[in-house]
A and B are shown apart, each in its own frame.
Chain A
């Protein structure tokens, strides 16, 4: 027996040496730098890879490896695994303050980068702390009611005139009464399964004014006031009543791919990110028939909620050379001429940076977001304050779904959300 273990030990030792030798071989000092990117915007995976390849051509000493992991909930565990297995990426993405808190030991200060200096005011506040900027925004995004131009035209309604809840309601009722002539199944398609459209986007509209459009203020708040909850209820009820039924069966693809893109509804509550999906279903429809208006909120009329869902971070535990190469790449992407072009035309990003004023957005929805933000007619996103916390999936979403299914009264829903928030914040 002892002989066996000895042999096993020797074998392990040999294997170990071989591996460490191999590791030496790959990192032995050459001028070449390899940076690895792990990012959370999976729909842009192909485009990021193309851009990286292009960058490698003009910067022969840099090698870039891009990996994309989809969806907010899948990303963090993968990043954690990569870090704890010693295979941490050079550049990774952060979804907001909750992510920054978790990965702060790995995020380098980026305030001295050209991109950070060019970032539009307020776009980095959710990932800044003590005067240091730890994240660079991917882009800005906006959401509202994405509508079908033809349906509104046939119904004789100008969507731009729907600036108050009362006007919206009247228009919805009119469209609903002419459903058959207009050839639609419902006014809205409300995806009861995709709770984030309610817990993140809709809820944000009624929380943002209370927290000065500042996610950090909500993130640090011990309590949740939610004093405008009745307005949210009104909007939820409106969407539900005039939606394609049953709402609890509808998911994102039913809402966007089936109902909206095939012209079966008048409008849906979504954002500019759906454009590529609509385009993939019906290119002509996407080019000619799609527009977006803000969701009317009292006191915030004519303003579109615009914000950032992901930020780039650079791993400060990597070598200085690698960190520098990473920062150079991000600077190139957002501030160089070639990079800017890719950001707008390849990635379809509405830029969160200065210096894009002479560029045209590639599609109707990003154009809307760009126009509103250029004119300063925007409200903020406060929901990144809770998307990375357990309050979102464990409290807000199930409670809103319970209300939508008719299993719980609105008052109870609001109370549960408030107490859940207080509980989470007190244990933080």
Chain B
């Protein structure tokens, strides 16, 4: 605490003020609203925990929760495996590796909304055309049920984000001192041993970062969901963020949406922080 002088606070204040204005204060306000019957304009009374207890019987919210959880588990695994795989590939020294890096990263430059619309076209028009030409019936009718909607969302998200995750892994892979690997090579370690015993522990911090990013991104995803399936059909591909937005804006139930948002925040924060805490323990220093 000694070094927290006037200048410390002076430099911190602009950020704190900005954060307070756009994050802390609205959140406290939201917390307050979640205990009322707020309709977006005014509220007449406090209702206690009614909005929260109602969530327990809100089937669409519970469905959205399980759908989101399944989505997060699948995308976290796929994104990290594919991201790391791509990173290992483009850090090998071969011609065109730089070009490949750019190509793999490119989907990330396209906004989620546009990407969703592009893929909607691919799933509904492209897949159908391909399916008819090749007589593969599983290519027909994508996005018309919960299952294809789920995998459609997974494909789009993985396609978009694995390049970004790759960049993070590349940064850490390149930081591994070459002599350590050479030493292991001389000691007779196989490629697989070098990867599991040296490379993987050395990039543990990257793993922490990427896990955090993919986890929180998976939970909070909205734009791809909106443009690809819009939660349909029959709200079966509605994720948590979309469920909250729809509760507020389509159903006009702002107070219940605030309650959902609070629960959502607690879930995401808890899972992300626990994850960071455990992965930090695994990280090694040279």
Q: Which residues of A contact B (CB under 8 A)?
A: 1, 4, 73-74, 76-77, 80, 83-84, 102-103, 192-193, 195, 246, 248-249, 388-390, 393-394, 397-399, 401-402, 404-405, 407
A80 close to B6 (CB less than 8 A): no
| Nearest opposing residue in chain A for B248, CB measure | A77
Contacting residues, chain B, for A83 (C-beta < 8 A)? 41
Judged by a CB distance under 8 angstroms, whether B279 is at the interface is: no
Once the chains bind, are A102 and B232 in contact (CB under 8 Å)? no
Beta-carbon contact of A76 and B249 below 8 Å: yes
Instruction: Name the residue on A nearest B9 (C-beta).
Output: A1
User: Which residues on the A side are within 8 Å of B252 (C-beta)?
Assistant: 76, 102, 388-390
Name 27 interchain pairs, CB-CB below 8 A, sorted by A: A74-B249, A77-B40, A80-B40, A83-B41, A192-B233, A193-B233, A246-B140, A248-B141, A248-B143, A248-B144, A248-B145, A248-B232, A249-B124, A249-B141, A249-B143, A390-B251, A390-B252, A393-B246, A394-B250, A397-B234, A398-B234, A401-B232, A402-B233, A404-B233, A405-B144, A405-B233, A405-B234
Chain B, 105-162, CB within 8 A of any chain A CB? 124, 128, 140-145
Chain A residues within an 8 Å CB radius of B251:
390, 393-394
A249 touches B144 (CB 8 A): yes
CB distance from A389 to the nearest CB of B (A): 8
- In the assembled complex, the Cα of A390 lies from the Cα of B235 at a distance in Å of 14
Q: A76-B249, A193-B232 are in contact. Are A102 and B60 (CB under 8 A)?
A: no
| Majority secondary structure of chain A interface residues (helix, strand, loop or mixed) | helix
In Å, the complex CA distance between A189 and B163 comes to 39
Q: Are A77 and B9 in contact (CB under 8 A)?
A: no
Instruction: Answer yes or no: B217 CB below 8 A from chain A CBs.
Output: no
In the A-B complex, list the 7 residue pairs whose CB atoms are closest, starting with the nearest.
A390-B251, A248-B144, A401-B234, A398-B234, A80-B40, A393-B250, A402-B234
Q: A55 vs B142: C-alpha distance in the bound complex, in angstroms?
A: 50
Find the A residue at minimum CB distance from B60.
Answer: A394
Task: Give the nearest-CB partner of A393 in chain B.
Answer: B250
| A92: min CB distance to chain B, Å | 13
CA distance A291 to B144 in the complex (A): 31
For residue B252, give the distance in angstroms from its CB to the closest CB of chain A. Answer: 7
Interface residues of B toward A: which range? 20 to 34
Residues from chain B with Cβ under 8 Å of A4 in the complex: 6, 9-10, 13
A80–B10 Cα distance when bound, in Å, is 37
Residues in B209-253 with C-beta less than 8 Å from chain A:
230, 232-235, 246, 248-253
Across the interface, do B233 and A390 meet the contact criterion of CB distance under 8 Å?
Answer: no
A399 to B142, CA, bound (A): 20
Q: Is B39 an interface residue (CB 8 A)?
A: yes
B246 to chain A: closest CB distance in Å? 7
Out of A76, A77, A248, A393, name the residue touching B233 (CB < 8 Å).
Answer: A248
Q: Are A390 and B250 in contact (CB under 8 A)?
A: yes
Q: How far is the CA of A402 from the CA of B6 in the complex (A)?
A: 63
Among B40, B248, B252, the one with the most A-chain Cβ atoms within 10 Å of its Cβ is B252
Q: How far is the CB of B180 from chain A (nearest CB, A)?
A: 49
Contacts of B235 in A (CB 8 A): 398
Known: A76-B40, A397-B234, A401-B232; 10 extra A-B contacts, CB below 8 A, are A4-B6, A4-B13, A192-B233, A246-B140, A248-B143, A249-B143, A390-B251, A402-B233, A402-B234, A405-B144
Is the CB–CB distance between A102 and B41 below 8 Å?
A: yes
Contacts of B9 in A (CB 8 A): 1, 4
Whether A399 lies near B6 (C-beta < 8 A) is no
**Known contacts A249-B124, A405-B145: does B13 contact A399 (CB below 8 Å)?**
no
* Complex alpha-carbon distance, A402 and B39, angstroms: 29
A300 CA / B253 CA spacing, docked (Å):
37
Q: Across the interface, which residues of B come within 8 angstroms of A402, CB to CB?
A: 233-234
Q: Count chain B CB atoms within 10 A of each CB in A1, A389, A394, A397 and give the residue with the most.
A: A394
Q: A83 to B40, alpha carbons, bound, how many Å? A: 10
